[in-house]
Structure 1
Amino acid sequence: MKSSKTAALPRRLAAATAVATSVTLAVGAIPAHAEPAPPVPTTQVAPKPKPTKTPKKDAPKPGASSSKAPKPSAKPKPAPPATVTKVNWYSAHRVALWVHSPAMNTDIQVQMLLARDWFSDPKAKFPQLTMLDGLRAQDDQNGWMINTNVEEFYADKNVNVVLPVGGESSFYTNWKEPDRGKNYQWETFLTKELPPILENDWRSTDVRAIEGLSMGGTAAMMLAARNPGFYKFAGSFSGILQMTSYGMPQAIQFALRDGGGYDSAKMFGPPSDPAWKEHDPYVLADKLKGTSLYISSGNGVVGPHDKPSDIPLLATNYSGVGLEVLSRVTSQQFAAKLNKLGIHGQAVYRPSGTHTWPYWQFEMVQAWPQVAGALGIAGDKVACTVGPAFAKAPQIKDLGGCLTPEYAVPGGRAQDFRNGRIFTGPKGPKVVAGAIGGVYVPTMERLGLPTSDELTGRDGVKYNTFERGKIVWTPQSGARVE
């Protein structure tokens, strides 16, 4: 006679399998914080023509035609450019822009991790890497910032990292119709509206890479294929890379319902609509020739970052098991299609692991050498020693390794380290770091050089003093100039 535990095993395994194969592309666990405002129609309507004046009933001149040729219609006005409506500096190398998208008629937050040499080489421009979020993307922060060490990892790299915020369940594409108060037009935003701002105002070149996890991995391949040559590199970490094979549109519909209550018919129409194939990375694979490609996934088997269940090889993250199995299958199919087309791609199949963030951080690190090669910065390395202006500064021991050589700033000298920037000043070398260091970037000329390191007052208040003012940080209001 079987024990009750043994008898229950088939039932639990069946339940786990059912959960695992219920395709929910959701990643993360925190919903967006606020419901957006109702959509504003963004369709541009051509201006109505002025009423035609009735011609005078003069007799036509001899030899003249009695009918006038119609005037050619006016060319449609070009779409207005995107504009930056707000800027917030989180730190000296992390900044948030709110960019008004004419296509979506709303402000989109885009965070940037500025290149290592941003301050030490103020005339330089840098390649850019866009990192896309998963299905449960929040409206306040990009998931890479919340769940990985992305800021620390890129601190010593000469690339502008672009982190779009928002886009829950959007697949970062242009939707046919608004849904849940959002008029998603992400492809237009990422490939048409945002690039001029990054290149004209934020010292980015037009050498671009894009990568993402889960939904973001699907979107990275989709956007690269739909815009051939726009990106030098495209990377998918656990992406679903076949969208139109049998059952996939229905699976994606299930995912969008689970990931915020969205309707895939408003994204691409019914499964029979050609828009599905027009956005399927597998169908578009031939458009990726010449793009450096990185494809990775686990296989759903319990791995080093998973909690084992009491069912052999199965993690407790049941939905993450099924999602990673689906990612593995579609990633292999996609890689096979590339191989058939003679298109080179780097495929990395991990021997274990489910659909969760620690594996995507691992892939971010693993993919970097290939990203750097595609962006033309494979040979870039940190090359610095402590500058002569700071060699005797006692603060150096707490600043971590240097990132740049010593360089000139208005009125003095500065140098960048992993844990902050150090400046010369009227009272000797002083360190400015963290949120206070961010507020100092746009106010440096007004405030002058620092006259203190970061100090701590009552109730957790922190502050730095400067030649012409003070920057104060409080837990309630963050950093501000006083």
Structure 2
Amino acid sequence: MAKTMQLRKADSRRISSGRTRVLAAIAAGLVLPLAGGTVVAVASAAPAVHAAPAAAAPAPTQAPSGAVVSSVNWLSDRRVALWVDSPSMATPIQVQMLLARDWNKDPQAVFPSVWMLDGLRATDQESGWTAETDAESWFADKNVNVILPVGGQSSFYSDWADQDNGKNYQWETFLTKELPPILERDWRTNQTRAVAGLSMGGTAAMTLAARNPGFFKFAGSFSGILATTTLGMPQAIAYAMQDAGGFDATAMWGAPTSDAWAQHDPYVLAEKLKGTSLYVSSGSGLTGAYDQPSGIPGVSTNYAGMGLEILARLTSQTFATKLNKLGIPASINYRPSGTHSWPYWQFELKQAWPQMASALGVPADKPACTIAGGFADVHSGNNWLADCLTDSYAVTGGSAQDFRFGRIFSSNLGTFPVAGAIGGVYQGYKAADGILGLPTSGEIGVADGRGRFNSFQNGMIYWTPQTKAHAVRGAILGEWAAQGYEGGPLGYPAADEVQTPSKPGAVQGFEIGAMYYSEANGTHAVQGKIMDKYAGLGFENGALGFPKTSEISVKDGGRFNQFEGGNIYWSPATGAWAIENGPIFDAWKSVGYEGGRLGFVTSDQFPIDGGVQQNFQFGWITVKNGQAQIFP
């Protein structure tokens, strides 16, 4: 797992430009003046026992705005996904965070934040900044919390006039009213903020900063459209939005002539950016270091990206001219080449950082740190951890040191690395302060070649590409181990251990079933078709209650589990059926269970005139007036 678990593989997202003939036509009309040298570049791009507790906190909480954090998922020790139930949008919104360099070392500190906005084709799975760039590893040594809203395709991060395409976009309300109280109260984030984005996100960075004066200290636009109401721009934006998800621009801000368009135009709002540190950049649309040449001089194969970057350049120039007239300082960076694509935005983020850091009041450079003693020995054998981010510091029972791609923990139990998704789950259990205790092994590959695990004082965390990372501990770990760990009947853990909702106990899902714990009955596995039947009967809340045994083999390849209220039997010939404790079960028992004259159960119990009946392979049993009768 190691570094590959920490750096999630970028998906096959398309760039945030609309692949439209309209934009290509605009590009064709505008590229000649740029190629002819009428625009001068002022900067150039470089080449290129027993339920597990809730996650470590903060626990689900409610903000004064009414927004509720309904779920927390730790992806690594310093990358976490929050699902926030937004009152304004009436749906859960995912927000991922990259936590500050000193988050672990200084648990009392609060940090400034950098809000990174996505492009027109934002997905609901992951921000483009983590999917398409090295932002996660690059921000690792920066002492800021990075806020990554996920989703918002074609939204321009604004409050829309109408719902459209199944979306109720109210992004400005969410970002400026609903989310901040949660970040400030529960996620050690102060009110010193920067915002930056690419394309649509660059437009929104300037718009949000202008519409909410003082909310952001810094606003950065990388290839943003910064004059949205100039001639032809509403139509170009509308066409791109239709191409990127089928959205109707009139649902966003109404007709192009409406006041709402002007109220979201960075050019119109420019005066309200006074006092904000501003950074604006764009390429020229010409083939650059990260483009594939088309064979036509200056023209790459990224035709739509060429067109959109020309629009970004022209509107950025218009915007910059307005700032100059207003006497508002800004860092303006026109690159001599480059299209509308992620490698250039990754480059611009790094160029903007010193100015951003200055506005936030944090050092731009990582402080010096040293790797010594046992940490140095372990680090030398695990060079995928990369450079240190902190010196070593005390944790409960030992010490720890943070690296770009994980942590090393040292105690009298040994010195071991913990990283990636396993490190995220460990952080969710409060790391050394939590119930798992300190690590007792490094990350170990399982013999099947599929899974990996770390051992801890009070449990283990397993990971596979299919199941992700989950902790197993306590009595559930003991029984799973007795059944052969991942090589046993249940396979790998596929869910976290949770409290059973209505009765005292716990359950944990595995690939091929679940392990149940209750104080009265112990820990037992339910799996396969028997689990399917148990689920259909309401799990532990149904008539059967908790399991009292794991699966037991009987004749003809059959199997059964005993439960508090009865049994579920399965055989290849008959399938899975429940037989509850009571007169029918007692009668069946009296003739030898499945090995007797009736054979296996072939139905659940069902009502008949004056009583109930249950069928078997070779007969049936009825109960009337409390008396059981066997047929034939």
TM-score of the superposition, structure 1-length normalised? 0.83
The equivalent position to 1:411 in structure 2, one of 392, 397, 418, is 397
Q: Whose strand proportion is higher, 1 or 2? A: 2
- Counterparts in 2 of 1:443-454, with a 5 A limit? 443=429, 444=431, 445-454=434-443
Structure 2 letter corresponding to 1:374: A
Q: Quick check: 1:20–1:320 contact (8 Å CA) kept in 2?
A: no
Are 1:302 and 2:309 counterparts? Answer: no
* Residue deviations 1:355-413 (CA, integer Å, cap 9, x gap): 11110000011000000000001365322112555344465652322111111111111
The equivalent position to 1:226 in structure 2, one of 192, 211, 221, is 211
Q: Quick check: 1:19–1:319 contact (8 Å CA) kept in 2?
A: no
Q: Quick check: 1:21–1:323 contact (8 Å CA) kept in 2?
A: no
Structure 1 stretches of 4+ with a deviation exceeding 6 A read: none
- Counterparts in 2 of 1:50-61, with a 5 A limit? none
Q: Report the identity percentage.
A: 61
- Counterparts in 2 of 1:168-183, with a 5 A limit? 168-183=153-168
Unaligned runs of 5+ in 1: 1-13, 24-77
* Residue deviations 1:110-166 (CA, integer Å, cap 9, x gap): 000000000001111110000000000001000111110001110111000011000
Q: Quick check: 1:22–1:322 contact (8 Å CA) kept in 2?
A: no
Structure 2 letter corresponding to 1:407: Y
Residue 338 of structure 1 aligns to a residue whose secondary structure is helix
Following superposition, the deviation at residue 21 of structure 1 comes to: 5.5
Partner Cα distance (1:116, 1:168) in 2:
30
Are 1:287 and 2:294 counterparts? Answer: no
* Residue deviations 1:53-74 (CA, integer Å, cap 9, x gap): xxxxxxxxxxxxxxxxxxxxxx
Residue 447 of structure 1 aligns to a residue whose secondary structure is coil
Alignment correspondent of 2:471: 481
Q: Quick check: 1:169–1:259 contact (8 Å CA) kept in 2?
A: yes
Alignment correspondent of 1:437: 423
Partner Cα distance (1:287, 1:16) in 2:
30
* Residue deviations 1:197-223 (CA, integer Å, cap 9, x gap): 111111011000000000000000000
Alignment correspondent of 2:296: 311
Structure 1 letter corresponding to 2:408: I
Alignment correspondent of 2:25: 18
Distance change >3 Å, CA 388–CA 123, structure 1 → 2: farther
Residue 315 of structure 2 aligns to a residue whose secondary structure is helix
Max Rg structure: 2
Q: Quick check: 2:398–2:412 contact (8 Å CA) kept in 1?
A: no
Following superposition, the deviation at residue 475 of structure 1 comes to: 1.3
Residue 414 of structure 2 aligns to a residue whose secondary structure is coil
Following superposition, the deviation at residue 426 of structure 1 comes to: 4.0
The equivalent position to 2:461 in structure 1, one of 427, 447, 471, is 471
Following superposition, the deviation at residue 19 of structure 1 comes to: 6.8
> How many residue pairs end up in the alignment?
415
Residue 435 of structure 2 aligns to a residue whose secondary structure is helix
- Counterparts in 2 of 1:139-218, with a 5 A limit? 139-218=124-203
Residue 230 of structure 2 aligns to a residue whose secondary structure is coil
Partner Cα distance (1:275, 1:362) in 2:
33
Q: Quick check: 1:387–1:415 contact (8 Å CA) kept in 2?
A: no
Are 1:131 and 2:121 counterparts? Answer: no
Unaligned runs of 5+ in 2: 1-20, 31-62, 473-632
Partner Cα distance (1:385, 1:278) in 2:
51
Distance change >3 Å, CA 428–CA 296, structure 1 → 2: same
Partner Cα distance (1:394, 1:122) in 2:
24
Q: Alpha carbon RMSD of aligned pairs, Å?
A: 1.9
- Higher RCO (C-alpha 8 Å, min separation 6): 1
Alignment correspondent of 1:98: 83
Following superposition, the deviation at residue 459 of structure 1 comes to: 3.4
Alignment correspondent of 2:100: 115
Partner Cα distance (1:379, 1:213) in 2:
21
Partner Cα distance (1:79, 1:158) in 2:
27
Q: Quick check: 2:142–2:364 contact (8 Å CA) kept in 1?
A: no
Partner Cα distance (1:100, 1:436) in 2:
27
* Residue deviations 1:416-460 (CA, integer Å, cap 9, x gap): 112311111343101101100000012131111000000000131
Alignment correspondent of 1:82: 67
